[in-house]
Structure 1
Amino acid sequence: MPPHSNPVWTGSRDENVPLTGGMGGRRSPSVARKGSVRMKGSALASPNAEPEIDEDKDEQRDSKRLSKLLKTESELEKAALARALKSLAALQDLHKCACKREEKAEAAQYKSLLAAQKAKSIYYEAKARAEEERARWEGKQVRAQEGRDKEALYVPRRPPRAPGTKRIVVCCDSTWQDGVIMKESWKHTNILKLSRALNPVDERSGVPIPQIVYYQTNVWEAQKIYSQDDDGATGASLINNVQEAYVFISQNYYPGDEIFLFGFSTGAYIARTVAMFIGAVGVLDQAEELKTSLSKWTSHGSRGKRRANSNDDSFSIKCVGVFDTVCSAGLSEELTHESPSTKSIFGFPNNELGQHIERAYHALAIDETRPELNCCKFQQTGGGRRKRQILKQCWFPGSHRDIGGGWKTHDLSDLTLWWMVANIGDMLSIDVAYITSLLDPVAPWGMQPPHK
């Protein structure tokens, strides 16, 4: 067949084979796909007859495609809508959480404002009551009973005091210690540091409470000569120290005041003696009565328990805090054995803790071996235990002065000082920053070797 001749239909009527031209077997445009062409007329149509296209099937196919496309778009829209709703729900949850946090913050702020307002109202109420009481203290206008025309009389009244309106603190230092004239700060004992760390007024509760501090030096042993003749002089010096501390308390005390006693070494012995003396005879109003009471205690013919019962006045000591009390009050062993009058000057056991003392704290030296510096531990009585008296005695590493202070390297004495401050901090207002500034560690905490 020539290359460019017209296609010729060959074969039977059932065969549906397209004719091919001369250029690469290209399908004739007049021939439709299989199953989509119908011939008009007879079974064997003319080759020039036009095929009939099934438009219904094409429409169905296009409709299916369109519905499928619409379904896909709908699914995509649903998925996008679900994601959007999920994001919106997350945003709503975040908004709710933020609102709750804001509400909590506002509630806390409102609560703090209410607390401040309440404290302020309490303060003003207390101030008003104090002003009213002060007006009553200053005086009261009283009408004369004999007639209305007479002038009113001004009757002054002594102001009453509520419990805890003032704190009296007595600090008795160790032998050879005089913090008033001592220049080297490293020689200061824990007693001197504590006396300087006490704030003059405690303002923590909102009601100012004065804190009056008395620091007593203890240099009388520097003049002691170990002889039989100086026994009485040494005992008299010890009695003078006790009397001075007691007179300070009696001159400043008012019913309801709190009394604190602190001491180191022989000063601890003096502090404990004053506490026992107060428990036996109370606080006297006049210094002249003190000499009479002391004469009862220092007479050599009677025992301390009987003398203590000579006055039924009861009194409570708030706290006694001591550092390594010396049993013999710092006297030499030979002197105390030869003179029973100085070994028990006041006639009561040195180690007894009276039941009138609310709290007692005692720091002890575990490495001290000198017999003249044997510690004198507290012994609690049955009455004190029944009254739930607080007694804490703790052994610390170091010698006698490692407990009470006085060495150039004072890491160990800093331990005992902080222990004492931690125990009494709820009762007294203490300048903790001042005590912290005194620290000068030479070793890790508690690792300094003890002095010998």
Structure 2
Amino acid sequence: MQLTSPPNNIDSLSESEWSEDVSSTLPDEEMASTLKHDDSPVKRLFLFWDSTGQDGVLTSSKGGSLFCDDPNAPNRRRQIVLYQNTPECEAIFDTNMRTDTCAMQAFACDIASKIRDAYGFLAQNFEPGDEIFLFGFSRGGYAVRKLAELIEKIGLLERESLGLFFAFWRDLTEGKTPAVPHATRTCTIKCLGLWDTVSFGEGAPEPLRLSGTMVPSIVENAFHALSIQENRKEFHPTLFTLPRNPRLNLKEVWFPGAHSDVGGCSARHDLGDISLFWMVGEIVALDLFNIDQTFFANGPRDDLGTSHRRNACSRSERQIKHPESRLEAAIITRAAKYHESWKNASNTLAESEHMVTREMLEKEFGELEYAELNKWEIERKEQWKESGQEYAPY
């Protein structure tokens, strides 16, 4: 598997310079030859987009390890991987928008640049028949959704036509429908895997005038793990609306824990393991690619029976920010589907202010609907039992 960095920041480049500079995302011939595992020319392109540089499920080292191809698989395919992360923006979203407009605009420009870099990576490396996989956490998840919509709108330009990209970007930014030339390639996105997607923030400039909520028609499978107990308003999630593709396999499942718990960047990773294992199980069930499952052989490192649910908004912050649970904000609705681990979540919390409990949801909606554990999760459950660890969350 090749892990590549994005090209240089294209904001400082001319259109022709960008189409040349982005070629740095192409593997050289020597590297490409070492990546060929079978006679098939088809390869897999992976994009991992983390949030704020925290050690979440998609950091360059962890994401590469978790989703790398199984070295023992008989039908391995060549893989090229790009890792991106959004800037350290949480401080921006915690400030008064009226006094921090410049910071918000700088953040939006950085996001726009990274979306263009990611598009260039895919356009330069894609060949007909290749499979594309996009994964994102938090605002990184929102960015990959924007990227998927961009590809739906204009396809993937041929390498020699990348100089036209800026005109299309400008049209979309201005709310116009770009006239896409013949020199573009249609493609499908095999999998869109997301952890608790959060938009760029109220009042933040949007890099493209795209919905960000519709599942693009080019996506075949979309999986979204959502946090039940996040209570910061600036971290309200962006759920999917009805998909454009009636054949889409779409699953949105709610998990115990706050935003960073579900995303795997809390000091204790028990809750992050649960959402990660669900995602892996969905991929394995569809045989989308060969995951090296030896990474998961030892199961969780902590006793899952002690998984805690922390209040994402500290006591001092709660005096200033006026938190709001996702139930209070009517984001969690009667139609929500919950992970099995929520059945065992405690209704007694140390700091319960604006924290959702199972008891609250049952009082509001009656009997809750739970997603059935996938086959891979059930196998992990049996392994954990054999290891002697308590298995309370399931």
TM-score, normalised on structure 2? 0.60
Counterpart in the other structure of 2:49: 172
Structure 1: state its 5+ residue gaps.
1-160, 178-187, 337-341
Tell me the distance in 2 between the aligned counterparts of 1:221 and 1:308.
34
Equivalent positions of 1:35-74 (< 5 A) are: none
Cα shift at 1:214:
1.5
Give the distance between the partners of 2:108 and 2:52, measured in 1 at CA.
14
Question: C-alpha distance in 1, partners of 2:39/2:169?
Answer: 32
Does residue 249 of structure 2 align to residue 249 of structure 1?
Answer: no
Which runs of structure 2 are paired with 1:92-107 in the superposition (5 Å)? none
Distance in 2, Cα, partners of 1:211 & 1:256: 13
Return the offset for 1:197.
2.0
2:276 pairs, out of 414, 417, 422, with 417
Q: Provide the rounded CA distance (Å) in 1 between the counterparts of 2:294 and 2:280.
A: 12
**1:198 aligned to 2:59?**
no
Other-structure match for 2:80: 212
Kept in 2, the 8 Å contact 1:202–1:428? The answer is no
1:348 aligned onto 2:210: yes
Q: TM-score, normalised by structure 1?
A: 0.53
1:74-223 matched pairs, under 5 angstroms: 165-177=42-54, 188-192=55-59, 193-200=62-69, 204=73, 206-219=74-87, 221=89
Contact 1:298 1:345 in 2 (8 A): no
Greater relative contact order: 1 or 2 (C-alpha under 8 angstroms, separation 6 or more)? 2
CA distance in 1, matches of 2:169, 2:103: 21
Q: Distance in 1 between matches of 2:90 and 2:164?
A: 29
1:163–1:255 CA contact under 8 A, matched in 2: no
Q: Which residue of 2 aligns with 1:319?
A: 191
Mapped pair 1:449 → 2:326: no
CA-atom RMSD in angstroms: 2.9
Q: Tell me if the contact between 1:368 and 1:398 (Cα under 8 Å) persists in the aligned partners.
A: yes
Which of 403-412 and 425-434 deviates more?
425-434
1:363 to 2:230 alignment: no
Q: Which residue of 1 aligns with 2:245?
A: 384
Matches of 1:267 and 1:324, distance apart in 2: 10
Counterpart AA for 2:220:
E
* Residue pair 2:193, 2:223 contacting (<8 A) in 1 also: yes
* Structure 1 residue 203: Cα displacement: 5.6
* Counterpart residue number, 2:266: 407
8 Å CA contact 1:201–1:208 kept in 2: the answer is yes
> Which digits, 9 at most, give the CA deviation of each residue in 1:389-421, with x for residues without a partner?
100000001111011111111111110000010
> Partner residue of 2:131?
258
Secondary structure, counterpart of 1:196 in structure 2 = helix
How far did residue 208 of structure 1 move? 2.9
Aligned with residue 291 of structure 2, among 430, 434, 443: 430
**CA distance change for structure 1 residues 222 and 172 in 2, over 3 Å: closer, same or farther?**
same
Question: C-alpha separation between the residues in 1 aligned to 2:221 and 2:40?
Answer: 17
Choose from 281, 285, 299 the match for 2:154.
Answer: 281
Q: Do 2:258 and 2:309's aligned partners in 1 also have CA atoms closer than 8 Å?
A: no
Change (3 A) 1:246 1:189: same
Asked if the contact 1:164–1:258 (Cα under 8 Å) also holds between the matched residues in 2, the reply is no
Which protein has the bigger helix share? 1
- CA displacement, residues 86-115 of structure 1 (integer Å, 9 cap, x when unaligned): xxxxxxxxxxxxxxxxxxxxxxxxxxxxxx
Letter in structure 2 aligned against 1:296: F
Is the contact between residue 201 and residue 210 of structure 1 (CA under 8 Å) also seen in structure 2? no
Question: Offset of 1:428 from its aligned partner?
Answer: 1.8
What SS does the corresponding residue of 1:230 show, helix, strand or coil? helix
SS at match of 1:440: coil
Where does the alignment leave 5 or more consecutive residues of structure 2 unmatched? 1-37, 313-394
Q: Please say if residues 201 and 211 of structure 1, whose CA atoms lie closer than 8 Å, have aligned partners that are also in contact.
A: no
Give the secondary structure class of the aligned counterpart of 1:199: coil
3-state SS, counterpart of residue 47 of structure 2: strand
Larger Rg: 1
The one-character-per-residue Cα deviations of 1:299-322 (angstroms, maximum 9, x if unpaired) are: 587426x24877785321111001
Quickly say closer, same or farther: Cα 1:223–1:410, change in 2 above 3 A.
closer
Gap change, CA 1:292 and 1:227, over 3 Å in 2 = farther
* Contact preservation (8 Å) 1:268, 1:324: yes
